[in-house]
Structure 1
């Protein structure tokens, strides 16, 4: 009986986390929590960073350093970004274009793969 209740709680938590990531929140209401989705139009792009605007506000999205990987996002694109709000910007875990193409940036758990800098041996 205890295992059935535990399974139900874990399943409910997993479903809740997935639904949060699938339902974009307004940029204006962002708080620090992982697995949040935001959607909007890409503004200025500098390297792998870009401004995302959704009508309630705008935020800089950080998609990791260019030496680790390069993303090809263009101003004017409509995207949904899953990630977490972090000290004034939004750290991207994945970016989904309007055509459904998903750009994987990093895992949601743990430090980013580039945390050791460009000299890191296991990249």
Structure 2
């Protein structure tokens, strides 16, 4: 079963836009990890939710696809993932929401990354 990994990010108010842009750039590089299924990893933001209050202050989202739980575990444990989160996220975050779920092969094509989120 395909694992879909979704994370919403909210940065502290004192975090610069340039830092957020660098974070997004570094996150996007994770799509090249072999444990990311067919390089299906997108990062979107900042939020365009209207009214903005509905996004509850979350500014960015990551959506990635993994062949199975083992591939997802490899992604989470990778040096690259650890480098990005420890250097660009954890010291600067206000809040993070993570939601992971599985879909069978028939459904994984129904949940496609939104093309407009590919390039910020």
TM-score (norm 1): 0.24
Of Structure 1 and Structure 2, the greater strand share is in 1
Greater Cα radius of gyration, structure 1 or 2: 1
More contact order relative to length (CA 8 Å, sep ≥ 6): 2
Of Structure 1 and Structure 2, the greater helix share is in 2
TM-score (norm 2): 0.25
